[in-house]
Amino acid sequence: MAKVVVLGGGYAGLRAIKVLMDKVPGETQLVLVSDTRTHTEKTNIHEVAAGTTKPGDISFDIAEVAKPQRVKFIQDTVTGIDLENKSVELKESVEPLTYDYVIIALGFRSETFGIPGAEENALPLTTLAQASAVADHIENQIKHYQESQDPNDLKVVVCGAGFTGIELLGELIHSTREWAKKYNTPNVELYCVEASTNILPMFDCGLADFAVDYLKRNGVQFVLGAKISGVEEGKVVYQKDEEEQTVEGNSIVWTVGVGGSHVMDDPAFSSKRGRSITQPDLSLNPDHPEVFVVGDVAAIMNPENNRPWPTTAQVALKSAAHAAENVANLVKGGSATPFIFHSLGTVASLGRTQAIGTVAMGGKQVKLKGYPASALKKVIVDRSLFYDNGVGGIFKHGRFDVWH
Ligand code: NAD
């Protein structure tokens, strides 16, 4: 009787377990390990961080997907994986968890790149709890202004203008206006410090310019070509035009990039920033055809340009489904097949009513901006939430595939 272990309860882990439940023979043991009992729709985490969405609205019980009668769920933190002994080390368990096949889907961690003070003085944004902490912090500073009259209480500095930073700023436009009204303060100032001079390079310039103009019109002040070199209490230090400069603010949010889980730092995974280059069939390497790596811990190469696909929810969902199908084939005595990824599009939201995106339709990439892009995103995200909660759709029909 084969034992298949899936590590992680994010998009990739849940998609893998769902496919395994459908495809492996009934006698196969299925185990899912996650450090929380809930799954979080991480693509909406910026909304919680801006206070426009409640944490409960983007999370649900993992048991809704990993049915307890079929899957053994272990709530614990993975601390290591012993590839030679085919076992997983868990924080709370003395006994290692053995496997015949393992799918590693441990997700991402915030990356500080060793920038001094970033860990101590900036708020990370990778978990639901951190997102709630960001919203509470910003609101509390605005409230605090009433007694402090310190202008820095009304300044929010977002570090990094990647997807997360841009989507967060889009939401903050709304929530900071509401908080300023609630606590009767002057307007909140929003800053974004970014090393590159080119924002959202994955979109064509028409779409990227639309996003930047929209955010600027709504008060966001971009500091571009500014490489952050340190974070102090209430201050971001950066190098621009060969000079050290600073921007002050009592709410500093860190969206400067992510790496794969620290578990992947073990030399056995030959990872770079927590991501291992996979074999074409998504296995770790030819010595370990029983180990599959998917989602944000995987660098899955696009053979057309020999560069890894970006770490998005869409790649996580599709790679996880493929790895699970490969495991099911191997359990049944068949073989693993290469993963082929066709992007169905990418969308970046800019608050409640605006977005930019490219969506694959009829073999072409269609560009969308403004309200239509935002409406399309909402329809698909709503559907994904509905189906995730056990009604039977997203993981079965792949509706969420269009996103990220
Ligand atoms: P990111 O790596 O995409 O962006 C980080 C940004 O910080 C970059 O623009 C980078 O130039 C900047 N930066 C890095 N070092 C800096 C420094 N020292 N000083 C100033 N700026 C610096 O990270 P992210 O936005 O957290 O996204 C992480 C992953 O999640 C990405 O792969 C992204 O595609 C994905 N994601 C996708 C979506 C979506 O599809 N809508 C949404 C959120 C995240």
For the chain (404 residues), the mean pLDDT of every run of 10, in chain order, is 96 95 96 96 94 93 95 98 98 95 96 96 96 98 97 98 96 97 98 96 92 97 98 98 96 96 97 96 98 98 92 91 98 97 88 89 85 75 44 35 32
64 in any annotated domain: no
- Mutation test residue for ligand 1: of 228, 256, 347, the one with most atoms within 8 Å of CB: 256
Same domain, 241 and 151: yes
Displacement of CA 366 from its chain's centroid (Å): 24
Residues 230 and 196 in one domain: yes
Per the structure, the complete domain to which residue 24 belongs is given by: 3-35+76-110+258-341
> Looking at residue 380, what is its pLDDT?
59
Query: Within a domain: residue 132?
Result: yes
CA distances (Å), origin 85, targets 97, 290, 294: 10, 12, 21
pLDDT at residue 308, rounded to an integer = 94
Provide CB contacts within 8 A for 139, sequence distance 6+. 51, 179
Segment 51-55 long-range contacts (CB within 8 Å, at least 24 positions apart): 51/135, 51/138, 51/139, 51/175, 51/179, 52/171, 52/174, 52/175, 52/352, 55/128, 55/131, 55/132
Let me know if residue 398 belongs to a domain.
Answer: no
How big is the CA angle at 374 (ends 369 and 380), to the nearest 5 degrees? 125
Of 341, 368, 399, which one is at a domain's C-terminal end? 341
Give domain status of residue 19, yes or no: yes
pLDDT at position 400 is 36
Of the candidates 117, 92, 100, 83, which has an alpha carbon nearest to the alpha carbon of residue 35? 92
Query: What one-letter code names the amino acid at 342?
Result: H
Q: pLDDT value at position 381? A: 55
Domain annotation covers residue 104: yes
Residue carrying the six token digits 């560069």: 307
The CATH number for 161's domain is 3.50.50.60
Same domain as 194, residue 299: no
Does 144 reside within a domain? yes
- Per the domain annotation, does 264 fall within a domain? yes
What's the rounded Cα separation, in Å, for the pair 267 and 261?
Answer: 13
Count: domains in the chain: 2
pLDDT at res. 390: 37
- Tell me, in angstroms, the distance from the centre of ligand 1 to residue 225's CA: 15
398 phi and psi, to 5 degrees? 70, 35
279 vs 246: CA distance, rounded Å:
44
Q: Global pTM?
A: 0.91
> In this structure, are 240 and 290 located in the same domain?
no
pLDDT reported for residue 378:
67
Ligand 1 atom nearest to CA at 403: 40
Find the residues whose C-beta lies inside 6 A of ligand 1.
Answer: 43, 115, 160-165, 167, 193-196, 227-228, 255-258, 310-312, 346-348, 404
Q: How far is the CA of 224 from the centre of ligand 1 (A)?
A: 14
At CA 108, angle to CA 13 and CA 249, rounded to 5?
140
- For residue 245, give the 3-state DSSP assignment: strand
Cα 194 to averaged position of ligand 1 atoms, centre (Å):
10
**Where does a domain end: 254, 276, 308?**
254
Which ligand 1 atom is nearest residue 164's CA?
25
Residue in 42, 130, 164, 272 to alter for ligand 1 test, most ligand atoms within 8 A of Cβ:
164
Q: Ligand 1: which atom is nearest the Cα of residue 196? A: 11
Atom number of ligand 1 nearest to Cα 229: 18
The answer on 173 and 102 residing in a single domain is: no
**28 and 133 share one domain:** no
Cα of 256 vs centre of ligand 1, distance in Å, is 6
Residue labelled with tokens 């291992």: 276
Q: Report d(CA 165, CA 134) in Å as an integer.
A: 13
* Contacts for 337-345: CB closer than 8 Å, 24+ residues apart: 337/281, 338/280, 338/281, 339/278, 339/280, 339/281, 339/282, 339/300, 341/300, 341/302, 341/309, 341/315, 343/309, 343/314, 344/314, 344/401, 344/402, 344/403, 345/402, 345/403
pLDDT of residue 398: 35
State residue 397's pLDDT score. Answer: 34
Q: Same structural domain for residues 249 and 123?
A: yes
Q: How far is the CA of 80 from the centre of ligand 1 (A)?
A: 27
Domain match, 136 and 176 both: yes
- Shared domain check, 125 and 249: yes
- The catalytic residue positions are 167
Question: Tokens for 200?
Answer: 């959202």
The one-letter code for the residue type at 56 is G
* End-of-domain residue from the set 254, 278, 310: 254
- Whether 151 is in a domain gets the answer yes
